[in-house]
A and B are shown apart, each in its own frame.
Chain A
Amino acid sequence: MNTRDPAGSAPATHPATAPANAGPARAKHATARIAALALGAGAAAFALVELSAGLGPDASAAGAALIAAAGVAAGYILSFRHGPLPIEMQARLFHVADELAQYRAFTQLVRDQGQRITEITTDAATAIVAGLVDIDSGLVKLAKELDTTAPGTDLGPAASAARAMSEPVVDMLGKVQFQDITQQQIAFIARLSLLVDDHMTLLASELDGRQSFNRAGQFQSRFAQALDDCVMDSQRNDHHTAMGLSLQEDSRPVVELF
């Protein structure tokens, strides 16, 4: 399975699948904390001994030792605040990053489907309009020929009928403009989805570009089930392309909606 984050963010690792050098790195950090703690404790003990002996010539040394101890303690606390997060918290962040990646894939899928609808309806509407124009032209031409070739004969009503038949054709032509309106509405939806996409990119960056290797999220599984049950192959391929997945499919029967 391709685990590339559509956000294109810098790769990070899931705690469950961290690289081999992650353990030594954590051990090194822990050793540094212990060393800092020991140094701080030693300095503080020295200061207390000096203080208990009275504030004499060694007072300045005691003060320096206290300051050193305070500094080491502060460094130790800060190392907890800005150092590696606890494993549980990391797992949650990776889970959120994973969901964000899946939602971004979803918005891409929505845009792809919108584009497909636009293309299909454009082709259909253009063909319908061309056909209606031909029908109208043919009816008008027929009416004129009936007028000129058989004026005052029994064919007069036929000419009138031909003209009457062409009238609703023009009204139908006007209705085909629905395609233009639909296209604009789809473009609006696509723009909104891009806004959502941008926000999710921002959220992903807040997570320091984490990228999970575990993509078995609830959203993804539901989406995959819906696709397997009732979509066209082309739609499924759009989804897989958006997810960055392989287009290889199994041969299970599916229900085609269209």
Chain B
Amino acid sequence: MAHILVVDDVDVVRLVISKILKRDGHTVMEAGGGAAALDEIARRIPDAVITDLWMPAVDGFHLIETIKARHPAVAIIAMSGGSPRHSQQDSLDRARSAGATQLLDKPIDKDELVTAVRDALGGVTAIQGARA
């Protein structure tokens, strides 16, 4: 199974995703923001990163671009429920442009998460359509 980094500034979301992934057999690390995620990656390069997009300081878009520039092989899964200023679809479109290969809507569905991770790790590069 894979080593996966989960990045979200909301503790509940991070815990839920981590639990689902651990039950699926993965090793999971967590980071509460973009800067902490980059620190984690500097210690150990993950196979995949699942990141929220709207976070304080270093947001998900900057994080995705940085990871893709430094470690192009790392699979990126972006997730968003939108923000007070931006729609969910706009956020996911920007994430796709930044380099995310899989997109997930919030709240995260367990089965969709597991499928997205498996596809990302399996080299599936087609963009997963976000739920309409």
- CB within 8 Å of B: which residues of A? 122, 125-126, 129-130, 133, 136, 140, 170-171, 173-181, 183-184, 187-188, 190-191
Contact = CB atoms under 8 A, between A and B. Distances in A.
Nearest to A171: B110
Given A126-B15, A170-B19, A174-B110, 17 more contacts: A129-B11, A129-B15, A133-B15, A136-B19, A170-B20, A170-B23, A173-B15, A174-B16, A174-B107, A177-B12, A177-B107, A177-B108, A178-B107, A179-B10, A184-B84, A188-B84, A191-B84
Contacts of B93: none
Contacts of B23: 136, 140, 170
A129 B16 contact: yes
Interface of B: 10-13, 15-16, 19-20, 23, 81-85, 106-110
B107 A181 contact: yes
16 contacts: A126-B15, A133-B15, A170-B19, A171-B110, A173-B20, A174-B16, A174-B107, A174-B109, A176-B16, A177-B12, A177-B13, A180-B10, A180-B13, A184-B81, A184-B84, A190-B84
Contacts of B81: 180-181, 184
A191 B83 CA distance: 11
Contacts of A136: 19, 23
Nearest to A179: B12
Given A181-B107, A183-B10, A173 B83 contact: no
